[in-house]
Structure 1
Amino acid sequence: MLKLLLIEDDASLFQEIRERLTQWSYEVHGVTDFGDVMNDFTRVKPDLVIIDIQLPRFDGFHWCRMIRSHSNVPIIFLSSRDHPTDMVMSMQLGADDFVQKPFHFEVLIAKIQAILRRAYNYNAVQNQLKTWCGATVDYDKNTVDNENGRIELTKNEIFILKLLIEQKNKIVSRDEVMNSLWDDKRFISDNTLTVNVNRLRKKLDEIGLGSKIETKIGQGYMAVEEEHA
């Protein structure tokens, strides 16, 4: 049974979500101290985290930063706020998806299932290394290494990078990326994909590979690699 940590201070909403997710055979844990969420995170060792933005003491963005400094576990944000910057901030901090309140439970469960499939089933069958532009890409550990150092990627970032590398020097359309990553693009926006790709490129910049992911205006993205004779 997969474990979920639900960081939600609205007791009635927490109970409703927990009951619904339990019916889907998920083990749902809550937070005992909103001033020390990391203690519960360490105790539970969740397979996925759901975080509300507005929380006591520290907001969800703070706890996302803290979790990301220790783990690449999938993260979904919940929020009753409808400002686009909230979604952008969530993705920039390393979240995998964003759900606005009020929401249909079917949408939430679809997002949870899609993220868990690509985070865990994907890793179970893709335990391999790939060489790209002189770097070693580890699909299992979500890392990219070269002589300039090592970077760690989130589940979304490694999935996007793999999709582009497997079709290197070819343009991969935005629709193809979204369909592959989120299964059903009705649950995702163009802006969210842009944020994920920009975040991936920024990390690759740290080891001198950011320019190897090219944006083809109006077409999509391409992972480039010089072909040697």
Structure 2
Amino acid sequence: MYKIMLIEDDPQLCGLIKENLERYGYNVALPSNFMNIEEEFLTIDPDLVLLDINLPYYDGYYLCRSFRQKSTIPILMISARSQEMDQIMAIELGADDFITKPFTFDMLQSKVKATIRRVYGEYAFKDEKNSCVGPLCLKEKTLSLEYMDTKVELSKNVFKLMKKLMENANSFISREELIEEVWDSVTFVDDNTLTVNMTRIKQTLSEMGLKDLIKSKRGVGYMLQYPAVD
């Protein structure tokens, strides 16, 4: 039974989410004190975290960054904030996905199920082979991207997108194929989620000295072009 830590300060919504997820066989743990969330995270030792942004004492962004420094478990952020910048910030701090309120419980359950299947089940990484395009290499064991003397750790979703792009270097990949590669289904994923993740990839590569390595074409998709051509 997978253990989910639900961090939500709305008692009514919290109770409904807990009831719904437990109906599907999950063990849902709630924090007893919002002042000691970080300590309770270590005590509960969950398999997945559902994390609201607007919380007392510490907001979800702070907690997401703190959890990510301690663990690689999946973090799904939930919030009424729907601006692209909110999603970008969540993903940059280590969140695996962003669920916008209001949402249906079917949507929530599907997101949780897909994430657990991806991280722990049939779609989890089963090998430690590295993917390289020229001097740019992905290290599966450490979920990191290396180029020359630079090394950057990636979130699981960004890692999977980079792997797909590198395995198909110099060929365009459709948005739908990329979404299916990472999120398993095109049904429950906001198209903007892919855009946010691709923006993060471009920024990371640029910071590593690899500007304009990712090309995009409207109606076609994305391509990792190596060597980069302006």
TM-score bracket, normalised by the shorter chain, equals: 0.7 to 0.9
**2:196 is paired with a residue of what secondary structure?**
helix
The equivalent residue for 1:196 is 197
Structure 1 residues 22, 140: CA separation in 2 closer, same or farther (over 3 Å shift)? farther
Q: What does the per-residue CA deviation read over 1:167-207, in whole Å, with 9 as the maximum and x for residues that have no partner?
A: 11100111211222222223222322111011122223343
Name the % identity: 37
Deviation of 1:24 (Å): 1.9
The equivalent residue for 2:172 is 171
Output the CA distance in 2 between the equivalents of 1:94 and 1:172: 25
Deviation of 1:85 (Å): 4.2
Structure 1 runs not aligned, ≥5 long? none
Output the CA distance in 2 between the equivalents of 1:22 and 1:169: 45
**2:187 is paired with a residue of what secondary structure?**
helix
Deviation of 1:210 (Å): 4.7
Structure 1 residues 195, 83: CA separation in 2 closer, same or farther (over 3 Å shift)? closer
**1:192 is paired with a residue of what secondary structure?**
helix
* 8 Å contact kept, 2:38–2:66: yes
Q: TM-score, normalised by structure 1?
A: 0.87
Q: What does the per-residue CA deviation read over 1:45-76, in whole Å, with 9 as the maximum and x for residues that have no partner?
A: 32211111211112212212222333332221
After the TM superposition, which of the residue ranges 88-97 and 135-144 deviates more from structure 2?
A: 88-97
Amino acid at match of 2:102: P
* 8 Å contact kept, 1:148–1:207: no
- 2:48 maps to 1:52: no
Deviation of 1:105 (Å): 0.8
Output the CA distance in 1 between the equivalents of 2:3 and 2:151: 29
The equivalent residue for 2:79 is 79
The equivalent residue for 2:69 is 69
Deviation of 1:143 (Å): 1.1
CA RMSD of the aligned region, Å? 2.2
* 8 Å contact kept, 2:133–2:169: no
* 8 Å contact kept, 1:212–1:224: yes
The total of aligned residue pairs comes to: 226
Structure 1 residues 213, 39: CA separation in 2 closer, same or farther (over 3 Å shift)? same
Amino acid at match of 1:13: L
Output the CA distance in 2 between the equivalents of 1:92 and 1:145: 18
Deviation of 1:29 (Å): 1.5
The equivalent residue for 2:89 is 89
Deviation of 1:214 (Å): 2.4
The equivalent residue for 1:160 is 161
The equivalent residue for 1:16 is 16
* 8 Å contact kept, 2:130–2:139: yes
Amino acid at match of 2:43: R
Structure 1 residues 182, 70: CA separation in 2 closer, same or farther (over 3 Å shift)? same
Deviation of 1:224 (Å): 2.5
Q: What does the per-residue CA deviation read over 1:69-119, in whole Å, with 9 as the maximum and x for residues that have no partner?
A: 333322212223455543343334332222233321110011111122222
**1:137 is paired with a residue of what secondary structure?**
strand
Output the CA distance in 2 between the equivalents of 1:66 and 1:138: 23
